[in-house]
Structure 1
Amino acid sequence: MKNTLQTRLRPLLVLMAAAFALHAALSPSAQADDKAAAAPKAALTVTTAKPSTSRLPITIGANGNITAWQEASIGSESNGLRLTEVKVNVGDVVDKGDVLATFSSETVNADLAQAKAALMEAEASAAEATANAQRARALDTSGALSAQQISQYLTNEQMAKARVASAKAAVASQSLRLKYTQVTAPDSGVISARMATVGAVAGPGTELFRMIRQGRLEWRAEVTAADLPKIRTGATAIVKAANGTELTGKVRMVAPTVDPQNRFALVYVDLPAVKGKDGAAFKAGMFASGRFELGASEALTLPQQAVVVRDGFSYVFRVNPDKKVSRIKVTAGRRIGEQVEIVSGIDANSQVVVSGAGFLNDGDVVSVAAAPAPAPVPAGSAAKAAKPR
Structure 2
Amino acid sequence: MMSNDRKTLLTAVAVSSLLAAGVGAFAGKALLAPKVAPAAEAGEDHAGEKPHVTITPERIAADGITLMTLSGGGLDAAVSAQATVVATPHGAATLAARADGAIVRINKRLGDPVSAGEVVAVIESRDAAAISAERSAAAAKVVAARQALARERKLFDARITARQDLEAAQAAAAIAEAELGRATSASAAAGVSGNGRTLAVTSPISGHITASTATLGAYVTAGSELFRVADPDSIEIQAALPVSDAQRVKPGNPAVVETANGSVPAIVRSVTPGLDAESRSATAVLAVTGPSQMLTPGQALRARITPRNAATGASDRFAVPDEAVQSVNGADVVFVRTKAGFEPRPVRVGRRGGGQVEIISGVRAGDQIASKGAFLLKAELGKGEAGH
TM-score (norm 2): 0.50
